[in-house]
Amino acid sequence: MTQPMIGHRGQETKALLKSIKPKLQGIFGTKEDVLIITGSGTAGLETAVVNTVNPGDEVLVLVTGAFGDRFVKICDAYDIKVHRLEATWGEAACPEEVKTYLLANKKIKVVFTTYCETSTGVLNPVSQLANVVHENSDALVVVDGVSCVGGVETKMDEWGIDVLVTGSQKAFMLPAGLTFVAASEKAWKVMEENKQSRFYLNLIKYRDRLADDSTPFTPALSLLFGLEQVLNLFEEEGLENVFARHTLMMNMTRAAMKALDIPLLTSDESASPTVTAVKPSDFDPEMLRKVLKKEFGLSIAGGQQHLKGQIFRIGHMGYCSPADVLQIIGILEIGIVKVGKMINLGEGVKAAQEIYLQQEALV
C-alpha cells in the first residue's frame, strides 16, 4: 500500500482494476461485476438502499442486531416505509417468519438482511432467507455481508442474493476505506428505473466505468494496491481453506468458552465463523475489556445498543490464524482471573487445542 501513487486515469490503474475484477467475483460467488466504492461499509449499505428502493416503496428489514438496525436508520433517513421484523438479539432471522410476513404484506419491494450480524456474532441463513423471499414475493434480497464475506462461503448467484455489500476492513484484511457492491440482473433492472436522487453512490456510474476498467471518481489507490495483494493471499490459500480456517477458529473459540463455563450469546447453529459473542453471567465484560487492553494491548469489542455492557466479542477473521486464537484464549484466561472469576487456568486453551487436533485428524 506504500507504492508511489499512479495516475488514476492511466493504464496502470486500468491494469490493476482488470486484475482485481475476476478475483472479487470468486469471493462473492457471482458472475456479475463487483463494484468498488471509496467509503465505509455504511456507504455500501446506503448504496444498496438508494439504488434499489424507489421513493414510496415499502421494504422489510430483518433486524438481528445493530447492523440490521442500521438498514432501518438509512431507510428512515430516506422516508422509506420500513417493516421491521426483529429477532431476539443473539438469534438468527427465521425464514418461516419471513414467509408469513411477506404473504401478509404484498407491497414489499426489497428485503434487507445481514449475513453476519457482527453485533451478536450471528450468521443468518441468507440462502434460505433469499429462497423464501423469492418463493413468496417479487422482492429483491439485499444482504449486508460486511463482517463475513471473504471468511465464509458466499454464493451470491446460486443463493439468489440480489445485492451483496461488503467492506475492506473485515475478512478482506485491509484497512477500512473501500466498500464492495454487486447486483443481480434483476436488481440492475430495478436500479436502472430507480428515481431516487443519488450521485456519488449511484451504482450505475460504477458499472459503466468498470466496463472500461475504471472508476467514476478518484479511488483510494493505496487500498487498491493492498486489495490486489490480499486477493493474491486468498488465491494462494484457496477459498475453501480460508473458509475452513474460519470455521476452525470459531470452533476453537467456542469450545474454550464452554470449557471455562462462560455462556455464549449465540447457539452453535447460528454462530458466525468470523466473530464470537460471549455473555458472561458472573463478571463484568467491560472490566475484562479494560484489563486486556491495559495489560496486553488486546482490543476485544463490547456490546452495542441494548447489549452494551452485557457481552464481549472476539473477532477471528481475515488475517488471523488458529495460533492467534490460542494466544487470545491464553490471555483471556488471565484477564478472567483478574476480574475475579475462578477458573482452572489452561482449560480453555486445552479445549481449543483439542478442537485443532480433531480438525487436523479429519483432513
For the annotated binding site, the residues are: 313
Shortest distance, position 216 Cβ to a second copy, whole Å: 8
Per-residue cell: 188: 440492475
Q: How far is the CB of 28 from a second copy (least distance, A)?
A: 20
Contact 135, 150 (CB under 8 A): no
Does position 2 interact with a second copy (CB under 8 A)? The reply is yes
Q: Can residue 287 be called a binding residue for a second copy (CB under 8 A)?
A: no
- State yes or no: residue 20 binds a second copy (CB under 8 A): no
Instruction: Decide: helix, strand or coil at residue 340.
Output: coil
**Cα 34 from Cα 19, distance rounded (Å):** 13
Contact residue for a second copy among 29, 145, 167, 348 (CB under 8 A): 167
For residue 307, what is its C-alpha cell?
A: 447489549
Q: Which stretch binds a second copy (CB under 8 A): 135-143, 158-166, 167-175, 264-272?
A: 167-175
Compose the 218-257 pattern: x for residues touching a second copy by CB under 8 A, - for all others.
xxxxxx----------------------------------
By CB under 8 A, which span of 2-10, 83-91, 136-144, 335-343 interacts with a second copy?
2-10
Q: Count the site residues for a second copy by CB under 8 A.
A: 41
149 binds a second copy (CB under 8 A): no
Binding mask 191-210 for a second copy (x = CB under 8 A): ------xxxxxx--------
Kindly tell me which of 173 and 255 has the beta carbon lying closer to a second copy: 173
Q: Does 10 bind a second copy (CB under 8 A)?
A: yes
Q: Which residues pair with 59 in a beta bridge?
A: 82, 110
C-alpha cell of residue 21: 475484477
Alpha helices in 111-265 (DSSP H): 126-136, 156-159, 185-193, 203-210, 221-237, 239-259
Min separation Cβ 71 and a second copy, Å: 10
d(C-alpha 60, C-alpha 20), whole Å: 33
CB of 165 to a second copy, least distance (A): 12
The minimum distance between CB 339 and a second copy, in angstroms, equals 19
13 binds a second copy (CB under 8 A): no
- Say whether residue 48 binds a second copy (CB under 8 A): no
How buried is residue 286: exposed, middle or buried, by Cβ count under 10 Å (0-12/13-18/19+)?
middle
Q: 252: closest CA among 353, 346, 123, 121?
A: 353
Q: Residue 216 or residue 330: which is nearer to a second copy going by CB? A: 216
Per CB under 8 A, contacts with a second copy among 296-335 are: 299, 301
Helix (H) or strand (E) holding 109: strand 108-114
CA distance 304 to 353: 31
151 Cα distance to chain centroid: 9
When asked if residue 160 is in the footprint of a second copy (CB under 8 A), the reply is no
CA distances from 46 to 74, 201, 206, 241 (A): 6, 8, 15, 32
Site map for a second copy, 65-94, x if CB under 8 A?
--------xx--xxx---------------
CB closer to a second copy, 155 vs 293: 293
The pairing of strands 312-315 and 275-278 is: antiparallel
In single-letter form, the type of residue at position 290 comes to K
Residues annotated within a binding site for substrate: 313
Instruction: List the interface residues with a second copy, window 94-123 (CB under 8 A).
Output: none
345 binds a second copy per the rule CB under 8 A: no
Dihedral pair phi/psi, residue 91, rounded to 5°: -110, 160
| C-alpha cell of residue 72 | 432501518
State the nearest-atom distance from the C-beta of 259 to a second copy, in Å.
27
- Give the strand order in the sheet containing 140-144: 34-38, 178-183, 163-167, 140-144, 108-114, 58-63, 81-86
Q: Write out the residues near a second copy by the rule CB under 8 A.
A: 1-2, 5-8, 10, 38-43, 46, 73-74, 77-79, 167, 169, 175-177, 197-202, 216-223, 293, 299, 301
